[in-house]
Amino acid sequence: MNVLVAAGLSEGEAASEAKENLGPGTDTTSASLAHILWALSHDTPLQDQLYDQLESHGFPEQIDELEKIPLLVACVKEGIRWTGAAAAVLPRVVPEGGFEFSGVYLPEGVSLASVCQLILQTIISTSPIWYLRDPKAFPQPTQFDPFRWVSADGARFTIDAVRDRYYIPFSKGANVCIGAQ
């Protein structure tokens, strides 16, 4: 807070900035982990299979080694998808030339220079939750199912073009969450 205030922000602005950086890094992570642990606690066979994979890799502690365990990665990805902890609205400005969305043409920004030098733009908004719960990409979207990401034995990652395109819990483009990694 002191650094932000020293840089010229008011105390209120500094508090707002600090809150914006703390919430996404703590609330979303803790909610996702809590939901993953809850789901695992209700599925003993999945627990056993995950334990076996962890054991076969020597119970690694380094992230690069943990990321090589398909079922563990699948549980984390599915937990992030299933929890939907980051339900924020992600507004977007319609680009130059306009855009057709579900059969409806949305115009690009229109200059209203004669009215207070303002620019009126069409803004559309979405939330990652709508993508992460879309049944086209995630059949039975309200179920915790790590096997949507791996083979039936949990030993190999799978590729699914629709699922992978709709998996955007951290947004995309210029507004991607800094916590995506």
Model pTM? Answer: 0.73
* 44-79 residue pLDDT tens: 999 999 999 999 999 999 999 999 999 999 999 999
pLDDT tens digits, one per residue of 123-135: 666 778 888 999 9
Distance (Å, whole) CA 173 – CA 177: 9
Low-confidence ranges of the chain (pLDDT < 70): 23-24, 85-93, 109-125
First to last CA, the chain: 25
The structure tokens 């990694």 sit at 181
Domain ranges of the chain: 10-84+127-175, 89-125
pLDDT for res 53: 96
pLDDT at 19: 75
The pLDDT of residue 99: 76
Cβ atoms < 10 Å from Cβ of 76: 18
CA-based torsion, 61, 63, 65, 70: positive or negative: positive
Q: Tell me the CB-side half-sphere exposure of residue 76, using CA atoms within 13 A.
A: 12
